[in-house]
A and B are shown apart, each in its own frame.
Chain A
Amino acid sequence: MKPPIALSVENLSFSYGGKKALDHVNFKIHSGECTLLLGPNGAGKSTLFSLITRLYDTRDGHIELCGFDVKRKTRKALAKLGVVFQQTTLDMDLTVMQNLRYHTALHGMGRRLANQRIQQELERLSMYERRFEKIRQLNGGHRRRVEIARALLHKPSVLLLDEPTVGLDVPSRLAIVEYVHQLADDENLAVLWSSHLIDEIYPDDHLIVLHKGRIKANGAVAEVLKITNTAMIKDAFYTLTQGDQT
């Protein structure tokens, strides 16, 4: 039996003026599944994230988070969601602790519960000792860890990551990739990870290839390789995006 659907996107379209950014996008993500959303720059990945997080309005199509319609049951849907945006969204002049406390306040957590969750998430990421440092003092990899910790503080069921490893060195990147994959496995968390970096894909991942606002492939890595008749993901990606650079 398949695990429950955590994120459902149905017939989603979106335009900037006359330019179509998303064109009839359909996919589902189940709990415990790590889904890589792969697409070249300008494929529509960030637009899709803005629609899921309700920063933009959904006019054509339908998005559900854990059974809650994002447009009609916005608050219930957003309570199930943890997000790491492409750009850093931490306050540089505040400490790690202050940034995380701000997030717990926005999610209505009391001080004791907040401290407990903050300690738990930061310890997992080996950042607890640095909790009183200002964000400005941290390097890019550590800032990303704080953002991932923050996204998990309210125990979401779905985790969205919009190109979270951009600009990081290789060890930091691999460590984050591994951590998030383990979260999906051990915590039954549904992960949607947007990327244009092929080496972030694990063989067991679910893969969605988005190109010019359309889904070109949607399935397990092995399935995508099969339909494209290729042996490696980079070749499959190249075939599906017809030679566009990643």
Chain B
Amino acid sequence: MTNQPGAHLHLTEGRRAGPSCVNNMLHYWRAMWGIIGRELWRFVTQRERFISALVRPLVWLFVFAAGFRAALGLAITPPYETYILYEVYITPGLCGMIQLFNGMQSSLSMVYDREMGSMRILMVCPLPRWFLLLSKLFAGTAVSVLQVYVFLAIAWFYGIKVPWQGYLWVLPALMLSGLMLGALGLLLSSFIKQLENFAGVMNFVIFPMFFMSTALYPLWKLKESSMLLYNLAKYDPFSQAIELIRFSLYGQFNQHAFIYTLVAFIVFMTFAIIGYNPSKGMMMKKGGS
């Protein structure tokens, strides 16, 4: 087609030979990699997003942790076998922070995509919606794991080093925690009607979840100051995700944290899928009745 009206067109091929079987595994595989590849490409090409995702935890590490080092004494608790600096203690918490913010960023982009319409292209492709959401989730998790490894590399140069095996063991832990926090983001995005409401999510979800966790202080420290805070932190799924990461970094498996994080992921994901189901969830309430 040219810009001129009446331009001659050549339409030759028939239009009935679609993919022979949309139901096969190859279709699922290609679609999932299509979604993950797109997210990763977007992330690495959006330099500002890449840098800002790293600046936040680095400020906490270089400024906040350095300032609190003297104020906060830490006893020897597993998985640590010696006295550690506060920077060392909060490093797993900051890994979790990256994933928490990334999960919320993904949920924000889902709301944005839904408002702008690009989400529709995903939703009208011939695959089950649960699979599309799961693929989106994997894509977001892949991005967050990448961010965490870059952060850990910078921390290594800063002097925060874990046993080399820890960098391998932490991968499955990061994947599970990323999935859990991403699923929470998905769930929230199914409830958020407009982009403007996202600030509320920051205030009511991200900050309480982060501060009422073991990211910045160990549980026993919280217990000393408030039993209520101690209990809230204990049952905060974010705490469990951080403990899973913390133990993995030192080559140890925290079974309780693993099961808690896994169950939280399944619960959040189930409700997110219901939330995005046009027949049942919030999409119906948004769309009409």
Chain A interface (Cβ within 8 Å of chain B)?
A: 14-17, 21, 47, 50, 53-57, 59, 71, 74-76, 78-81, 83, 85-91, 93-94, 98, 101-110, 120, 124-126, 141, 145, 152, 154-157, 171-172, 174-176, 178-179, 182-183, 186-189
Contacts of A14 in B (CB 8 A): 288
Is B13's beta carbon under 8 Å from chain A?
yes
User: B117 contacts A75, CB within 8 Å?
Assistant: no
Q: In the assembled complex, how far is the CB of residue A35 from the closest CB belonging to chain B, in whole angstroms?
A: 17
Contact check: which of B6, B10, B24, B123 meets A55 at CB < 8 Å? B123
> What secondary structure prevails in chain B residues at the interface with A?
loop
Assess A56 versus B31: contact at CB under 8 Å? Given A83-B124, A182-B11. no
Contacts of A108 in B (CB 8 A): 19, 22, 24, 26-28, 30-31
Closest to B42 in A: A93
User: A109 contacts B13, CB within 8 Å?
Assistant: no
Complex alpha-carbon distance, A152 and B117, angstroms: 19
User: B7 contacts A175, CB within 8 Å?
Assistant: yes
Query: Which residues of B102-152 have CB atoms within 8 Å of chain A's CB atoms?
Result: 116-118, 120-128
Contact check: which of A83, A157, A178 meets B15 at CB < 8 Å? A157
User: B279 contacts A94, CB within 8 Å?
Assistant: no
Contacts of A75 in B (CB 8 A): 22-23, 126-128
Is B156's beta carbon under 8 Å from chain A?
no
Is B14's beta carbon under 8 Å from chain A?
yes
Contacts of A76 in B (CB 8 A): 22, 126
Q: In the assembled complex, how far is the CB of residue B114 from the closest CB belonging to chain A, in whole angstroms?
A: 10
User: A101 contacts B42, CB within 8 Å?
Assistant: no
Contact check: which of B1, B41, B284, B288 meets A179 at CB < 8 Å? B1
Q: What are 22 inter-chain pairs, A to B, with CB distance below 8 A?
A: A17-B288, A47-B288, A54-B123, A54-B124, A75-B23, A76-B126, A79-B22, A81-B124, A88-B117, A89-B117, A89-B120, A106-B122, A106-B127, A107-B126, A108-B28, A124-B1, A124-B10, A156-B18, A171-B4, A175-B1, A178-B1, A189-B15
Complex alpha-carbon distance, A157 and B127, angstroms: 18
Q: In the assembled complex, how far is the CB of residue B2 from the closest CB belonging to chain A, in whole angstroms?
A: 6
Contacts of B23 in A (CB 8 A): 75
Assess A105 versus B3: contact at CB under 8 Å? Given A14-B288, A15-B289. no
Is B221's beta carbon under 8 Å from chain A?
no
Complex alpha-carbon distance, A198 and B284, angstroms: 33
Complex alpha-carbon distance, A106 and B32, angstroms: 8
Q: In the assembled complex, how far is the CB of residue B267 from the closest CB belonging to chain A, in whole angstroms?
A: 24
User: A110 contacts B34, CB within 8 Å?
Assistant: no
Contacts of B122 in A (CB 8 A): 106
Contacts of A155 in B (CB 8 A): 15-18
Contacts of B33 in A (CB 8 A): 105
User: B16 contacts A56, CB within 8 Å?
Assistant: no
Complex alpha-carbon distance, A110 and B284, angstroms: 34
Assess A85 versus B34: contact at CB under 8 Å? Given A50-B287, A55-B278, A75-B127. no
Complex alpha-carbon distance, A172 and B5, angstroms: 8
Number of residues on chain B facing chain A (CB within 8 A): 53
User: B4 contacts A175, CB within 8 Å?
Assistant: yes
Complex alpha-carbon distance, A93 and B44, angstroms: 12
User: B34 contacts A106, CB within 8 Å?
Assistant: yes
Complex alpha-carbon distance, A61 and B85, angstroms: 66
Is B9's beta carbon under 8 Å from chain A?
yes
Assess A79 versus B19: contact at CB under 8 Å? Given A55-B278, A56-B288, A90-B118. yes
Is B225's beta carbon under 8 Å from chain A?
no
User: B287 contacts A78, CB within 8 Å?
Assistant: no
Q: In the assembled complex, how far is the CB of residue B169 from the closest CB belonging to chain A, in whole angstroms?
A: 32
Is B255's beta carbon under 8 Å from chain A?
no
User: B5 contacts A174, CB within 8 Å?
Assistant: yes
Contacts of A102 in B (CB 8 A): 34-35, 38
User: B278 contacts A78, CB within 8 Å?
Assistant: no
Contacts of A179 in B (CB 8 A): 1, 9
Is B46's beta carbon under 8 Å from chain A?
yes
Q: In the assembled complex, how far is the CB of residue A193 from the closest CB belonging to chain B, in whole angstroms?
A: 16
Contacts of B6 in A (CB 8 A): 174, 178
Query: Which residues of B196-220 have CB atoms within 8 Å of chain A's CB atoms?
Result: none
Query: Which residues of B241-289 have CB atoms within 8 Å of chain A's CB atoms?
Result: 278-279, 283-284, 287-289
Contacts of B24 in A (CB 8 A): 108
Closest to B17 in A: A155
Complex alpha-carbon distance, A110 and B116, angstroms: 28
User: A182 contacts B15, CB within 8 Å?
Assistant: no
User: A178 contacts B128, CB within 8 Å?
Assistant: no
Closest to B34 in A: A105
Q: In the assembled complex, how far is the CB of residue B156 from the closest CB belonging to chain A, in whole angstroms?
A: 31
